[in-house]
Chains A and B, each alone.
Chain A
Amino acid sequence: MAPTEATPQHAETAVADVVLEARSVSKRFPGVVALDDVSFSLRAGETHALVGENGAGKSTLIKVLTGVYRSDDGEVRVAGAPVSFSRPFEAQQAGISTIYQEVNLVPLMSVARNIFLGREPKNRFGLIDFGRMNRETTELLDGFGVRVDPKRPLHTLGIGTQQMVALARAVSVQAQVVIMDEPTSSLEPREVETLFRVIENLRGQGIAVLYVSHRMDELYRICDRVTVLRDGRHIHTGDLADLDRMRLVSMMLGRDLAEVRREGLTSFDAAGHEVARTPVLTATGLDRRHQLHDISLQLYGGEVLGLGGLLGSGRSETAKALTGALPLDGGEITVDGERIGRPTPAAAIRAGISMLPEDRKAEGIIPQLSVRENIVLAAMPRLSRAGIVSREKQDRIVDIFMERLRIKASSPEQKVGELSGGNQQKVLLARWLCLEPKVLLLDEPTRGIDVGAKAEVQSLIDDLAREGLAVLLISSDIEELIEGADRIVVLRGGAVAGELAGDEVEESRLLEVLADHTPAAKPADHTPETGRKAPAAGQEDPR
């Protein structure tokens, strides 16, 4: 129990181990009730999961707890005493540390300066004691399994390491409560393990952790209790061990348990797809120094081809290369037998390749523009005459897709930045689908979106394949990859490590190839299952 001296005495008599509590908290935004009479308590030494769809009120609750927002009604108590934080800094002073999804540090400053930012150790002359700071940083990071030079600027580290530095900082400020908002979204498996070790450690010290994540297996691994929010209301709090996954999902969704069970955890149809016999897209020998090595793959109409691999295996790079967004040193791409001369995004789009990028915020949405303009962005030249845009044509397309994808917005003119993550993702899907592509590349289409939208996106992928589209699916979610894909090409270190087709598309086989347990993994340019002929690139008739 490190820092208990900050606890006011009169709290000790009450339920002694509640460190942070929200009582009947409500928070309204114009037109939305984000939190409606939510109560929630966090005990010392527990790891408490906070789950719910996007828009359920998780982020708002965290922001109320940490002083970013002030609640309209209700109160927040720290160790039993009511508090009213007017700034996040005051929450930090009270022992509440928060690690956000995006790293919130100073990229140009050194690792050590970041860790000690605002509380630098001083020497006799009141100047920063760099020696001590660097030494203590090294010791601290050692405990997190991170070995870096504390003098290195933060931005030169990988994103996962940066996240670990943020975590080290949060823990080292004598926190009693650490709030983690999707901490593993940018971590590699090894780093996730370290994170879990750190959480165990915190638990041992009696520090409470509030853990927000969409990843079920993580929750079940490390969390003691769970609180479920839905539509801004408190649904359930209880021990996680008493709750099986299905029940938890059904509570988050507000759906019938039987319904969830019937439909499975993902919304893919169990049956495969009718696959065309000639490939729509053929990539041969894609090469890029340090990133891609001789990658060849074929994509057939009507199939969902999964692209598997661990972080850094070259999945996103392959997708980017196929759309011309990543310059290549070698290799060629053909669509319907026609070679794309110099791959650029514009050329790829003309050839019928669309790609949903991995990073929705940085590479997808244009937040200040309306839903309508975001949808028609890529199709604009087609929806205009002589360089003048036609609102009529735009509105027609936008209406169709808003309805088909069930995009929830107050109107097509609402700014995309105001929508939830799931709806933003649907807007991006609409942007690509309205180009009427032949090939759709989806890079992590369901990452960071709520369970409901996830299900909708998954069944949409199914529908699209059934309509004859060739879909390439990249997903870190193994369940999604296995249930969604008809065939999986596995990448490792920027090269094709193997391919699973037919009955081989199952979890253990995938893990084997991922983990390189089978040295005899199939060769790269292997022909898909029987019944398809091996096409020679550029020889096939266009469909």
Chain B
Amino acid sequence: MTTQATLPRPAKPLARLRDPAWYQEYGVYAAVAVVLLFNALFTDHFLTADNLRTQLVQVAPIVIVALGMALVIGTEGIDLSVGSTMALAAALLPLYLGYGLVPALLIALLAGAVVGAINGTLVSLVGLQPIVATLALFVGGRGLALVMADGQLKQIVNPDILALGTGSFLGIPLVVLIAGVLALAVAFLVQRTTFGRQIVAIGGNRPAAALSGLPVKRVLIGVYILCGTMAALAGILATARLTASDPSSLGTLMELSAITAVVVGGTPLNGGSIRVLGTVAGALLMQLLRATLVKHDLPDSTAQIAQAAIIIAAVYVARERRSR
């Protein structure tokens, strides 16, 4: 700690590569570039439109969930219930498709919002720690979903829903388009709206925010509602792609993928800063990494180890920076 801390001299270009702050700022983009470069050189048929399309379609739900997670983490919170929320949305979808596409979608999204409202209330009004508060619905949400779906996988034949999963607009898959638009919207929310800046301020120093008259409780509930709603949307899209509602397995471990994307993207877990583009890149990096290893015939277990290494690197870089 001390040896590195004493050295930072005004920047030479190469010296920047030794500065941990640089890695937290740009490391994730550099890593994505490295992975792409590696594949361009050593992997056949990787940089083809088809393959990239597949990768993007696969990563889209993770990106959507991670965006909501980034907001929650920005308030110094965490939401473990996102995977269960996806399952809940998936379970509701076939039950209400009889009323038409739009009501079914709205009901599913509303369920996500309700889950978020419960989480937010437990955190802000009851004062539970986020990890405990959201653990309740992490367990209960999936249980509820299974009860509603009778514990069964249900085939979905509604063509409109299926189009959500497979359709594209101007050559871009709808799922990817939705994730992209949401990323821009969340970036705008964080950077340019009072709500977004209040999220960051509350995460940075909650007593200070409260004394400054910020509506802390309202903002916290709002953040969890956003996160829940986006998780529900991810659940809908994943179901559409699966062409079946599968509440028993849809979204399992999603909370961990989302947290990983956020952390690898450079958002500190102790709040006060939200990196939206970094989160997208973080999700992309994990996806590309796994795809690369799979293409080189390495088993999934290897991919998991590689992902673990990346997470540790990301946390290490963040730690270096904090302790100066």
Q: How far is the CB of A12 from chain B (nearest CB, A)?
A: 31
Complex interface: chain A residues within 8 A of B193 (CB): 384, 387-389
B205's partner among A366, A378, A431 (CB-CB below 8 A) is: A366
**A369 near B207: Cβ-Cβ < 8 Å:** no
Q: How far is the CB of B20 from chain A (nearest CB, A)?
A: 14
Expressed in whole angstroms, the Cα–Cα distance for A68 and B9 within the complex equals: 18
User: Does B208 touch A at the CB level, under 8 Å?
Assistant: yes
User: Does B198 touch A at the CB level, under 8 Å?
Assistant: yes
With A345-B210, A377-B209 known as contacts, the answer to whether A369 contacts B201 (CB < 8 A) is: yes
Contact bitstring B196-211, A, C-beta under 8 A = 1, else 0: 0110110011011111
With A388-B192, A388-B193 known as contacts, the answer to whether A363 contacts B5 (CB < 8 A) is: no
**A369 near B211: Cβ-Cβ < 8 Å:** no
With A68-B2, A366-B201 known as contacts, the answer to whether A349 contacts B209 (CB < 8 A) is: no
**A389 near B197: Cβ-Cβ < 8 Å:** yes
User: Does B195 touch A at the CB level, under 8 Å?
Assistant: yes
User: Does A82 touch B at the CB level, under 8 Å?
Assistant: no
User: Does A70 touch B at the CB level, under 8 Å?
Assistant: yes
Complex interface: chain A residues within 8 A of B3 (CB): 70, 86
Expressed in whole angstroms, the Cα–Cα distance for A87 and B6 within the complex equals: 12
In B1-41, which residues have CB < 8 Å from any A CB?
Answer: 2-3, 5-6, 8-10
User: Does A510 touch B at the CB level, under 8 Å?
Assistant: no
**A70 near B2: Cβ-Cβ < 8 Å:** yes
- Residue of chain A at shortest CB distance from B268: A368
**B212 near A367: Cβ-Cβ < 8 Å:** no
User: Does A373 touch B at the CB level, under 8 Å?
Assistant: yes
**A366 near B208: Cβ-Cβ < 8 Å:** yes
Complex interface: chain A residues within 8 A of B197 (CB): 373, 380, 389
Expressed in whole angstroms, the Cα–Cα distance for A345 and B211 within the complex equals: 6
Complex interface: chain B residues within 8 A of A30 (CB): 8-10
**A431 near B192: Cβ-Cβ < 8 Å:** no
User: Does A409 touch B at the CB level, under 8 Å?
Assistant: no
User: Does A109 touch B at the CB level, under 8 Å?
Assistant: no
Q: How far is the CB of B301 from chain A (nearest CB, A)?
A: 37
User: Does A131 touch B at the CB level, under 8 Å?
Assistant: no
In A337-369, which residues have CB < 8 Å from any B CB?
Answer: 344-346, 348-350, 355, 357, 362-369
Complex interface: chain A residues within 8 A of B200 (CB): 369, 373
Complex interface: chain B residues within 8 A of A377 (CB): 201, 208-209, 212, 214
**A325 near B204: Cβ-Cβ < 8 Å:** no
Complex interface: chain B residues within 8 A of A348 (CB): 213
B-side interface size class: 20 to 34
Expressed in whole angstroms, the Cα–Cα distance for A29 and B324 within the complex equals: 11
Q: How far is the CB of A381 from chain B (nearest CB, A)?
A: 6
Expressed in whole angstroms, the Cα–Cα distance for A181 and B304 within the complex equals: 48
Q: How far is the CB of A373 from chain B (nearest CB, A)?
A: 7
Contact bitstring B37-56, A, C-beta under 8 A = 1, else 0: 00000000000000000000
Expressed in whole angstroms, the Cα–Cα distance for A86 and B2 within the complex equals: 7
**B8 near A366: Cβ-Cβ < 8 Å:** no
**A367 near B215: Cβ-Cβ < 8 Å:** no
Expressed in whole angstroms, the Cα–Cα distance for A78 and B211 within the complex equals: 47
- Residue of chain A at shortest CB distance from B202: A366
Expressed in whole angstroms, the Cα–Cα distance for A70 and B7 within the complex equals: 9
Complex interface: chain B residues within 8 A of A31 (CB): 10
Give the residue among A69, A87, A325, A369 with the most B Cβ atoms within 10 A: A369
User: Does A282 touch B at the CB level, under 8 Å?
Assistant: no
User: Does A323 touch B at the CB level, under 8 Å?
Assistant: yes
Complex interface: chain A residues within 8 A of B195 (CB): 387
In B83-126, which residues have CB < 8 Å from any A CB?
Answer: none
**A367 near B204: Cβ-Cβ < 8 Å:** yes
Expressed in whole angstroms, the Cα–Cα distance for A387 and B5 within the complex equals: 41
**A346 near B213: Cβ-Cβ < 8 Å:** yes
User: Does A95 touch B at the CB level, under 8 Å?
Assistant: no
**A325 near B211: Cβ-Cβ < 8 Å:** yes
Expressed in whole angstroms, the Cα–Cα distance for A367 and B209 within the complex equals: 12
**B207 near A368: Cβ-Cβ < 8 Å:** no
Complex interface: chain A residues within 8 A of B211 (CB): 323, 325, 345, 355, 357, 363-364
Complex interface: chain B residues within 8 A of A325 (CB): 210-211
Expressed in whole angstroms, the Cα–Cα distance for A31 and B193 within the complex equals: 33
- Residue of chain B at shortest CB distance from A344: B213
Complex interface: chain B residues within 8 A of A362 (CB): 205, 207-208
**A365 near B210: Cβ-Cβ < 8 Å:** no
Expressed in whole angstroms, the Cα–Cα distance for A210 and B213 within the complex equals: 42
**A365 near B205: Cβ-Cβ < 8 Å:** yes
User: Does A484 touch B at the CB level, under 8 Å?
Assistant: no
- Residue of chain A at shortest CB distance from B196: A389
A380's partner among B9, B10, B198, B205 (CB-CB below 8 A) is: B198
Complex interface: chain A residues within 8 A of B194 (CB): 380-381, 384, 387-389
Complex interface: chain B residues within 8 A of A67 (CB): 2
Expressed in whole angstroms, the Cα–Cα distance for A72 and B9 within the complex equals: 11
Complex interface: chain B residues within 8 A of A68 (CB): 2
Expressed in whole angstroms, the Cα–Cα distance for A72 and B204 within the complex equals: 33
**B212 near A431: Cβ-Cβ < 8 Å:** yes
User: Does B165 touch A at the CB level, under 8 Å?
Assistant: no
Expressed in whole angstroms, the Cα–Cα distance for A443 and B212 within the complex equals: 15
Give the residue among B9, B195, B205 with the most A Cβ atoms within 10 A: B205
**A368 near B272: Cβ-Cβ < 8 Å:** yes
Give the residue among B3, B198, B200, B204 with the most A Cβ atoms within 10 A: B204
**14 pairs across A/B with beta carbons < 8 Å?**
A69-B6, A87-B2, A344-B213, A345-B211, A346-B213, A363-B211, A364-B205, A365-B205, A369-B200, A377-B208, A381-B194, A387-B195, A388-B194, A431-B212
Given contacts A366-B205, A378-B213, 5 further A-B contacts (CB under 8 A): A346-B214, A349-B213, A362-B208, A366-B208, A373-B200
Interface residues of A (CB under 8 A from B): 28-31, 67-70, 72, 86-87, 323, 325, 344-346, 348-350, 355, 357, 362-369, 373, 377-378, 380-381, 384, 387-389, 431
Chain A to chain B: the 10 pairs with minimum beta-carbon distance, closest first = A366-B204, A378-B212, A346-B213, A368-B272, A349-B213, A345-B213, A366-B205, A363-B207, A70-B6, A384-B194
